[in-house]
Amino acid sequence: MTDSKNKPAPRPTIKAVRGTRDLLPDQTPLWNRVEATARAVFSRYGFGEIRTPVFEATELFARGVGEETDIVSKEMFTWEDRARAASEKAQNLTLRPESTAGVVRAYIEHKLGETGQLQKLYYIGPQFRRERPQRGRYRQFWQIGAEVIGPQTSGAESPLRDAEVLEMLASLLDELGIRDWKLELNSVGNAEDRARFNVALREALAPVKDRMCPDNQRRAETNPLRVLDSKEEADQEIINALPKIADYLGDESREHFEQVKAALDACGVPYHVNPRLVRGLDYYTRTTFEFTVTTGLGTQNALLGGGRYDGLSEMLGGPKAPGIGFAIGEDRLILTLQAQAEADAAASGIAPTEPKLDVYIAPLGIAQNPAALKLARELRREGLSVEVGDGSFKIGKSFGFADKLARHIILLGEDEVVTNVLTVKTFSTGEQVKVNRDVLADTLRG
C-alpha cells in the first residue's frame, strides 16, 4: 500500500563546498595533457618530482610565508588537532596554502643540502586558501611549481639559475600553446636593501597612512612592504607615489638583477621590469616575477608567480640554502587554454571534436553478454579503447549510444561468436564490413 502522506521527504542534496570544484571526465584530459607536458619539460631541465603532505604545522607558514601576509593572516584553513593519546600533543595544523615552505622544510628535514648538489624539485598538487571565490580564484586550486635550492657552493645563488627558471617557464608556456604571455620582472633586493627600503617606506607612509584602508594602516605599522601589493582601489594613488625598491638596491642586488636580464636577453626571452612587483609572500629576496596573460582570465590575469628566497631555509631553522622557485596556477592555465581554443573555434567555424573510443560492442541479446565482455577484454589487451553495451538494449538504443561514444560499432550475435567473423560499422563513412577476428584490431585502428 502506498500512502503519499507517509512518504519520507526527499533528503537535501549535498553540494561541493564553496570555492571547490569537481573536474569531470570531459575536463580532465586537458589537465592531464598540461601536467604531462610540465613533467616532460621539467625533466629536460633536470628536475625530479617531490610530493609533500597537504597539511603541515601552522608554524611553517607563519614563519615561512609571513604572519602579516594576506595568506597567513586571513586565508588559511587551520585547526587544532586534538591529541589522541597521552603521548601526543595537540597541534595547530594548516592545509597548505602554497608549497614552497613545505618543500624547503623537506629539504632541511632530509638534509638534501648535504649532498652538496643543487636540488631541482617540482610538484603538482592542490593548495587551499580561504579567498573570495570567483573566476580563476578558488579555495582549493592546483599549482604546478618547482624549486631550485642548494648550499651556496652548489651555485644556487647564481643569477644563471634565475634566468634558467624563467627561460624554462617561457618554453613551457610556448610548448603548451599559451600565446600572449607577458613576463613581469623585478628585484626586491637582499635583506639589507629591504631594511633600508622599509625605513623609507615607513617615513613615506607616516603622513598618509591615516587616509588608507584599515588593512593598509595596520600593514604600514607591521610590514610596510605589504602595502605595495594591496589591491585596495581607493589606496592606489597613494601607493603609486611611494618610494620604489629599484632606488634602494645595493650594488650586489643591482649586479644580480643585471645578470639575470643579460641572460634572458641572450636567450631571447622578453620581459618587462615592473618596479611594483613585490609579491604577496615575505620570503622573497632579489628576483621576483609573474607571468600574466590577456586571454581568458579577466582580472585574475596572473598565471604564475615566483622569485628568489635566499633566507627561507634559515627562517625555518635550516642551513643557508639560497633558492628560487615558482608556482603556476594550473586552474588559470586551463582557463586560458580553453579560452584560446574557443576563440580559435569561433574564428575557424569548426567546433572542437571530442576524442572517441575505438569501438562499441553491442551484444544482441543477454546471452551474448559474456562473449561481448570477453571480446572487449581481448581488444583492450590489444591496446584498443572499448565500451560494451548490454544485451537487453534494443538495437536502435545501442546505435544511439555507440554513435556518441565510439568510431565503430560491432554487433555481436550468436553467429558472429560461432564463426569468428564480425560485422564492423564505421560511423564517419557509414561503411559496413565483415572481418575475421584475427584482423579485427587492425581494422578498428584504421
Smallest distance from ligand AMP to CB 298, Å: 13
Query: For ligand AMP, which is the closer residue by CB, 261 or 332?
Result: 332
Note the helical H segments in 91-207. 100-109, 159-176, 191-205
Measured from the CB atom, the residue of 75 and 232 that comes closer to ligand AMP is 75
Q: Taking the complex as a whole, how short is the minimal distance between the CB of residue 65 and ligand AMP, in angstroms?
A: 9
Give me 12's grid cell. Answer: 537535501
Distance in angstroms (rounded) separating the CA atoms of residues 166 and 172: 10
How far is it, in rounded angstroms, from Cα 146 to Cα 124? 9
Asked whether residue 283 is marked as a ligand-binding residue, the answer is yes
CA distance 123 to 46: 14
Of 129 and 161, nearer to ligand AMP (C-beta) is: 129
Question: Is there a binding annotation on residue 98?
Answer: yes
Q: How far is the CB of 302 from ligand AMP (least distance, A)?
A: 4
* Dihedral over Cα of 192, 195, 196, 198: its sign: positive
130 is in an annotated binding site: no
Q: If 0-12 CB within 10 Å is exposed, 13-18 middle and 19+ buried, where does residue 222 land?
A: exposed
Q: Is 147 assigned a ligand-binding role in the annotation?
A: yes
In the complex with ligand AMP, which residue's Cβ is closer, 166 or 379? Answer: 166
The smaller minimum CB distance to ligand AMP, of residues 100 and 154, is found at 100
Q: Least distance in Å: CB of 295 to ligand AMP? A: 14
Closest separation between CB of residue 58 and ligand AMP, Å? 17
Task: Give CA–CA dist 355/27, Å, rounded.
Answer: 12
- DSSP character string of 13-72: P--PPTT-----TTTHHHHHHHHHHHHHHHHHTT-EE----SEEEHHHHIIIIITTSHII
Q: What is d(CA 85, CA 116) in angstroms, rounded to the nearest whole number? A: 40
DSSP annotation string for 408-433 = EEEEE-HHHHHH-EEEEEETTT--EE
331 or 416: CB nearest ligand AMP: 331
Least distance between ligand AMP and beta carbon 303 (Å): 5
CA distances from 265 to 122, 147, 166, 179 (A): 26, 23, 12, 20
Q: Smaller CB distance to ligand AMP: residue 138 or 399? A: 138
| DSSP label of 395 | H
Nearest to 251 by CA among 189, 174, 170, 175: 189
Contact criterion met (CB below 8 Å) for 289 and 108:
no
State which residue, 219 or 407, has the beta carbon closest to ligand AMP: 219
In angstroms, give the least distance from the CB of 306 to ligand AMP: 7
- The angle formed by the CA atoms of residues 332, 334 and 340, to the nearest 5 degrees, is 105
CA of residue 248 relative to chain centroid, distance: 34
> Do residues 162 and 262 make contact, with C-beta atoms less than 8 angstroms apart?
no
Q: Annotated binding residue at 114?
A: no
Tell the smallest beta-carbon distance from residue 328 to ligand AMP (Å): 6
Nearer to ligand AMP, 126 or 275 (CB): 126
| Alpha carbon distance 68, 219 (integer Å) | 7
Q: Is 143 annotated as a binding residue?
A: yes
Residues paired with 436 in a beta bridge: 421
Contacts with ligand AMP, residue ranges (CB under 6 A):
98, 129, 131, 136-138, 141, 143, 280, 302-305, 327, 329, 331-332
Residue 217, annotated ligand binder? no
Does the annotation place 171 within a ligand binding site? no
Instruction: Give the shortest CB-188-to-ligand AMP separation in angstroms.
Output: 13
Report the residue closest to ligand AMP, judged by CB: 329
Smallest separation, CB 218 to ligand AMP (Å): 20
Nearer to ligand AMP, 278 or 304 (CB): 304
- By the 8 A CB rule, do 149 and 104 touch? yes
The answer to whether the annotation marks 99 as part of a ligand binding site is yes
Q: Which residues are annotated as a binding site for L-histidine?
A: 98-100, 129, 143, 147, 279, 283-284
Q: Which residues are annotated as a binding site?
A: 98-100, 129, 143, 147, 279, 283-284
